[in-house]
Amino acid sequence: MKIAISGAGIAGAALAYWLLRAGHEPLIIERAPALRTGGYLMDFWGVGYEVAERMGVLPAVRQAGYQVEEIRFLADDGRKVGGFAVDALRDLIGGRMTSVARGDLAAEIYRSIDGRVEAIFDDQISAIHEHDDGVRIALQSGAIRNVDIVIGADGLHSRVRELIFGTEDRFEKDLGYRFAVFETAGYETRDENAYVIHAATSRQIARFALRDGRTLFLLVFRSELVNGADPIGPAETRALLKRIFDDAGWESGRILAAMESAEDLYFDRVSQIRMPFWSRGRIALLGDAGMAVSFLAGEGAGLAMTEAYVLAGEISRASGDYAKAFASYEARLRPFIEGKQHTAANFASTFVPQTEFGIWLRNQATKLMALPGAANLMLGKSLSDDFALPDYA
């Protein structure tokens, strides 16, 4: 089958790998001029870790990633007031865990198909016309392509979803936060292999020391602090972040100053996508486009890789019957994904405390992680993936 995939990120590239391996002809269409780099640091474990292992990319992913040793919460004056050793989590999952930047993971997956799959960059699908024998897609550049099916793997703000299923507001569940991510070089304070976090009321700043003298920053805050419409463009985003974090204490002044030199400042809502169905006719959705769990779930990338593996497997197993393949894909995954969404939504209410007492309480709770059995009691359920990968040999 000829299968168009909108999006060259983690979900799209992983799907192309498994489709190619099964003898299909994937076509990737990516609106960015090149592979996206950077992005926030993700903990990578669970069923997605197993998919990466089956793909043969796990050694490269681990090499690109970091073995975080500590989550450390700091007060205004830099004193440690909470946190825990990550070994407490790693032990629960048999050491099968690494932390990797979203862009680095996407790059390692894409390398597995580079040169073997047709990929069109700096373009996107502008129209989709389904007919009895396939799908005719028009690209923004004016090109026309004919394929058997179309897969939207183009992220939270999916163009394919908009064209086929409707506007984003019909399916988005806003979890009540906004976040910004950026990198800079030469930030003078470094804490190697420690994820360092400072919380102020309704706001939180984190930094992590990357290789080559670079530092990653993650700023999260409650949506009500926006006080109006979300910012449009880098200038408005910087102004908003300065207003919200100017009095956040700790290193906020230096971090906001470092933000001025950041080349790639990413800002978005913390949202989920919840849809009553993931396909319509010859078009299906994958990853954040159809079932985003939000970064609060902690394993969105791994889930996207799992979804890609299952979708490719069901397409091949159905021998050309795309309707059967899409139905099986959804039946296998929906209970698992909805469970992850439910867990992330519950966690959202405590992610950034609204009061000084809430911050203190959260800090004390993190200290308990050092007690025997506490990590399993507090986080064991969220770290377990109750899903067995099918064998599509």
pLDDT digits (tens, 9 = 90+) for 91-132: 878 888 899 999 999 999 999 999 999 999 999 999 999 999
User: Is residue 148 within 8 Å of residue 3, measured between CB atoms?
Assistant: yes
Using the CB atoms, write b or e for 183-196: b if 16+ within 10 Å: bbeebeeeeeebbb
Mean pLDDT of 296-300: 80
Position 33 confidence tier, pLDDT thresholds 50, 70, 90:
very high
- Let me know if residue 299 belongs to a domain: yes
* 380 — pLDDT class (breaks 50, 70, 90): low
Answer whether residue 331 is part of any domain.
yes
Answer yes or no: is 368 within a domain: no
Instruction: Please state the domain count of the chain.
Output: 1
State the average pLDDT over residues 365-386.
71
Residue (of 326, 216, 252) closest to 78 by Cα position: 252
Evaluate whether residue 157 is within a structural domain: yes
For 358-364, what is the mean pLDDT?
92
Q: Which has the minimum average pLDDT: 60-69, 88-97, 149-158, 245-254? A: 88-97
Lowest mean pLDDT among 29-38, 48-57, 285-294, 318-327: 29-38
Read off the pLDDT band of 246 (50, 70, 90): very high
The amino acid present at 87, given as its one-letter code, is D
CA nearest to 151, candidates 294, 268, 58, 287: 287
Confidence of residue 379 (pLDDT cuts 50, 70, 90): low
What's the 3-state SS for 89-133?
A: HHHHHCCCEEEEEHHHHHHHHHHCCCCCCEEEECCCEEEEEEECC
So what's the pLDDT on residue 320?
A: 87
Under the banding of pLDDT at 50, 70 and 90, the label for residue 377 is: low
Residue 378: per-residue pLDDT: 64
Which of 2, 21, 16 lies closest to 392, judged by CA? 21
Q: What share of the chain in percent tops pLDDT 90?
A: 80
Supply φ then ψ for residue 247, to 5 degrees. Answer: -110, 25
The reply to whether 82 falls in a domain is no
pLDDT at 83 over 60: yes
Q: How far apart are CA 283 and CA 329, in angstroms?
A: 13
The number of angstroms, rounded, from the C-alpha of 351 to the middle of its chain's C-alpha atoms is 17
Lowest mean pLDDT among 104-118, 168-182, 371-385: 371-385
- SS3 of the chain: the string is CEEEEECCCHHHHHHHHHHHHCCCEEEEEECCCCCCCCCCEEEEEHHHHHHHHHHCCHHHHHHHCECCCEEEEECCCCCEEEEEECHHHHHHHCCCEEEEEHHHHHHHHHHCCCCCCEEEECCCEEEEEEECCEEEEEECCCCEEEECEEEECCCCCCHHHHHHCCCHHHCEEEEEEEEEEEEEECCCCCCCCEEEEEEECCEEEEEEECCCCEEEEEEEEEHHHHCCCCCCHHHHHHHHHHHHHCCCCCCHHHHHHHHCCCCCCEEEEEEEECCCCCEECCEEECCHHHHCCCHHHCCHHHHHHHHHHHHHHHHHHCCCCHHHHHHHHHHHHHHHHHHHHHHHHHHHHHHCCCCHHHHHHHHHHHHHHHCCCHHHHHHHHHHCCCCCCCCCC
Token pair in block for residue 219: 């700023």
Q: How far apart are CA 61 and CA 52, in angstroms?
A: 8
- Domain of 101 in residue numbering reads as 2-66+97-170+272-349
**393 in any annotated domain:** no
Q: What is the CATH number of the domain that holds 278?
A: 3.50.50.60
Would you say residue 374 has pLDDT above 70? no
What pLDDT sits at residue 317? 95
Structural domain contains residue 50: yes
Q: What average pLDDT does the segment 70-87 reach?
A: 93
In this predicted structure, the answer to whether residue 168 has a pLDDT above a threshold of 70 is yes
- Beta-carbon neighbour count of residue 311 at 10 Å? 31
Q: What is the pLDDT of residue 62?
A: 94
Sign for the CA dihedral angle at 252, 255, 260, 265 comes to negative
Amino acid 18 reads W
Assign 376 a pLDDT band (cuts: 50, 70, 90): low
Answer with the residue of higher pLDDT: 120 or 380: 120
221 falls within a domain: no
Give 194-240 pLDDT, tens digit per residue.
Answer: 999 999 999 999 999 999 999 999 999 999 999 889 999 999 999 99
